[in-house]
Amino acid sequence: MSDGEFHSGAALAQRFDVSRASVWNALQAAQTAGAVLHKVRGRGYRLSGGASWLDASAIASLPGGAAYTLDIVDSIDSTNAELMRRALAGAPHGSCLAAEIQHAGRGRRGRTWHSVPGGSLTFSVLWRFNQGISALSGLSLAVGVALLRSLREFGAADLQLKWPNDVLWQYRKLAGILIEVQGDVMGPSVAIIGIGINLRLPTAVRDEIDQAVTDLAEVLDRPVDRNVLLGSVLRHLHDVLTAFEAQGLRELRGEWQAAHAYQDKPVRVLLANGADLCGKVVELTEDGALVLEHADGQRSRVNSGEVHLTRCVA
């Protein structure tokens, strides 16, 4: 149904050599997973907007794909969770796991990551580092640069990065990054780099999300092939991870700051302990911390937290 055209229940049943009841069950399951299906009596079913399904051989043949061990699954709890399980069982550096459906997609701070079949790109990459986990503190910012470079390649303009790791368009979230690490302080360590990109989110799904969101269909005036997009992100990811391994954020920091949505703006940062901190964003350190300047001219470093662009009431 990737063509977005109507297909009758009978034609689908014949095509897959199953009963019409099985077709109906499969379509129900697709709807439960978030697919938007239209049913018209006499014409059949149509997948709203169509979809380009992921195809490992198509991605592997792209310039970025060959450097990875790719696996594409129809459905999984979370590509991050599964790839971490595989990492602990010895999966190789450069493994990439993408899923059409995540039924327990994870976001930062214990949130759920919402995605829809064909309307999202959800995948994770396993990267092994010789360095210890403390050297990886700026990793999510490096990954943000890779996403920015890739999405710009498709013509996306006015993209912003939000510390520490969101990609925004007009202050609305287009993509998110979740990095989970395991390892020793002195190294080696392993990072599972999870990326979710909104391609075409139905209104019902947007309504479930507790922050302003957008999708690539809104940002661009043309559809994007998901395989080509994944190949491009993987290529840029390879470049930034290689640079990050060699010299941390040194080479990437300027590019990140130039795209920061809140650079030189007054912000309120909600800290992990529930307290908040107000100040103007002045810079990003080489290890990925945000530096705020307070009204009294004092500066403080923020290593983790969530940024809100709001007035601070003393």
| Encoded tokens for 259 | 């795209």
Closest to ligand BTN by CB, 12 vs 230, is 230
Closest to ligand BTN by CB, 1 vs 125, is 125
Question: Is residue 10 classed exposed, middle or buried when 0-12, 13-18 and 19+ CB atoms within 10 A define those classes?
Answer: exposed
The amino acid present at 229, given as its one-letter code, is: L
φ, ψ for residue 269, nearest 5 deg: -110, 125
Cβ contacts of 200 within 8 Å, gap of 6 or more: 49, 116, 118, 119, 215, 216, 217
Closest to ligand BTN by CB, 23 vs 102, is 102
Interface with ligand BTN by CB under 6 A: which residues? 78-80, 102, 105-108, 111, 113, 122-124, 166, 176-178, 194-196
CA nearest neighbour of 248 among 160, 132, 87: 132
User: Shortest approach of ligand BTN to residue 107 CB, angstroms?
Assistant: 3
User: Shortest approach of ligand BTN to residue 165 CB, angstroms?
Assistant: 7
φ, ψ for residue 298, nearest 5 deg: -70, 150
Closest to ligand BTN by CB, 78 vs 189, is 78
Closest to ligand BTN by CB, 51 vs 97, is 97
Measured N-to-C along each axis, helices 139-153 and 226-247 cross at an angle, to the nearest 10 degrees, of 140
User: Shortest approach of ligand BTN to residue 2 CB, angstroms?
Assistant: 21
Residue closest to ligand BTN, measured at CB: 176
User: Shortest approach of ligand BTN to residue 169 CB, angstroms?
Assistant: 14
User: Shortest approach of ligand BTN to residue 120 CB, angstroms?
Assistant: 8
Q: Are 227 and 59 spatial neighbours (Cβ–Cβ below 8 Å)?
A: yes
